[in-house]
Amino acid sequence: MRQSAPLTIINGELVLPDRTEKGAIRVENGLIAEVGLAGPQDGDEVFDAKGKLVAPGLVDFGVFAVDKPAFHFGGITRAAVMPDQNPPLDYPSRVKLVAQSGKPDLWVHPLAAATKGLEGRELAEIGLMKQAGARGVATGRRWISDSGAMLRLLQYAAMLDLVVVSHAEDAALAGNASATAGDMATRLGLPSAPAEAEALAVSRDIALAEMAGARLHLRQVTTARALDLVRSAKARGVKVTAGVTPAHFMLSDLATAQFRTFAKLSPPLRSDADRKAVIEAISDGTIDVIASGHDPRGAEDKRLPFSDAEPGMAGAETLLAMALTLVRDDAIDLVRAFELLAAAPAALLDAPCGKLETGKEADICVIDPHKPWVVDSRKMEATAGNTPFDGQPAQGRALALFKGGVRIG
């Protein structure tokens, strides 16, 4: 997409990397040309933000499906796609196809499968997949239990300067559990696994990443004990980052009452103490990324007994609104919110966006942070509306979305 004329967005509350300020932003040839200027130049196309937030377009790290209308609704301009596709992204041709799939109005960054068939044993052709467009390498929905294979993966990825994205949950402990061990799982009679399954996997992955000197991103860290391990590793200089989805700081395992399969996730919802630990980790910088975990599941996957239903949620449309609850609750400020939603995931992908800075690609979102709406699974833009936030009042909506300076929503 190319701009027909320069664009100036005026009267905005600009969310800059280190502060917010009132002003305008000018875009030329798809790039941010000026930030904080007084007004447009002759011949500019003008968009009046009317005092609303002007922020970077969201970069959603680790989605399982590409739902363009849902992403645009949620203010998302780029998405990193997990390798758990059909077939998996374990061949260069498949990676190349996905890398081209969303253009021009959504850029999709594939994460290559770490192992052939995502089986956790033999490494895939990671170097060739990087040449085909992969921006990282991921273990998929499962943990690589073979420590030797994981170490080789981390060493190889370090040589290629690719981030390794791990689903950190010890498979031998987690098994086929559908809930976290505790009072709620016992009350419902659900097969459960101890929360320590996450801490064990996080500990092992951090140790191997430290040995290999590799960049490790733990896609979801949801327990207090595992977050302490990440905090400690960062303090000693390990190149580890951590992510989480809104479900794990908004909800606890109490949301699974009445066997609500929309609340069946992977990893499962945790105790309220762990939920509060996640918020603390977001506040103190232990968690680097908030992502949607977008994984739309239809009735054939969700209208089943809880233990048989597939985990996952359609999260793209609610990502922005749920992250803004942290701002309203004074857990973080706006600058930190968009670091979590845009700048940090863009850096992981080595993508030239995620910040309102001169020279960055003009992926821009105009947001009303106070606009009220109600999450309704029946009206969602995603291919399925399996959200644990169904029926919940929300605040914050994208009013306009620009990709490379061209309006797309």
What pLDDT score was predicted for residue 151?
A: 98
What are the residue ranges spanned by the domains of the chain? 57-353+372-393
Question: What are 283-317's pLDDT values in tens digits?
Answer: 999 999 999 999 999 989 999 999 999 999 999 99
Q: Using CA atoms, how far apart are residues 30 and 348, in angstroms rounded to an integer?
A: 22
What pLDDT score was predicted for residue 37?
A: 80
What pLDDT score was predicted for residue 38?
A: 67
What pLDDT score was predicted for residue 334?
A: 97
Nearest residue to 63 (alpha-carbon basis) of 74, 52, 54, 51: 74
CATH number of 57-353+372-393: 3.20.20.140
Using 70 as the pLDDT threshold, list the residues of the chain that sit under it: 1, 38
Question: What are 201-245's pLDDT values in tens digits?
Answer: 999 999 999 999 999 999 999 999 999 999 999 999 999 999 999
What pLDDT score was predicted for residue 1?
A: 67
What pLDDT score was predicted for residue 224?
A: 98
Long-range pairs, 86-94, Cβ under 8 A, ≥24:
88/113, 88/117, 88/118, 88/140, 89/113, 89/129, 89/134, 90/115, 90/116, 90/117, 90/118, 90/124, 90/125, 90/129, 91/124, 91/125, 91/129, 92/125, 92/128, 92/129, 92/131, 92/132, 93/132
